[in-house]
Structure 1
Amino acid sequence: MTITIPNLQPVIAIVAGVLILIAPRLLNYIVAAYLIVVGLIGLGLFRGMV
């Protein structure tokens, strides 16, 4: 798999989500879950309800 600009944003979202989980607070968990889901959908690994 070649990393291109469209693939870079989901990867960054996943990394940011994991990093936010390291410093736990309720809002951080919500934001982290959102970033991880958006990253997975962006990579095409998870098909949401859309």
Structure 2
Amino acid sequence: MVLTSAHIPAFVALIAGVLILVMPRLLNFIVAIYLIFTGLVGLGVLRALHF
């Protein structure tokens, strides 16, 4: 499987979901980080960094 920038939000969402199940108090931080990360991917900022 080839990972592209389209796969990154799916992996981030999966990891965030597992962390929320394990530690529900992290919900606010995980949602904030997810939204920032998704915004950066959507703007193409991470693509410019070759990530």
What is the TM-score when the length of structure 2 is the normalising length? 0.48
- When you count helix as a share of all residues, which structure comes out higher? 2
What is the TM-score when the length of structure 1 is the normalising length? 0.48
Rg bigger for which structure?
2
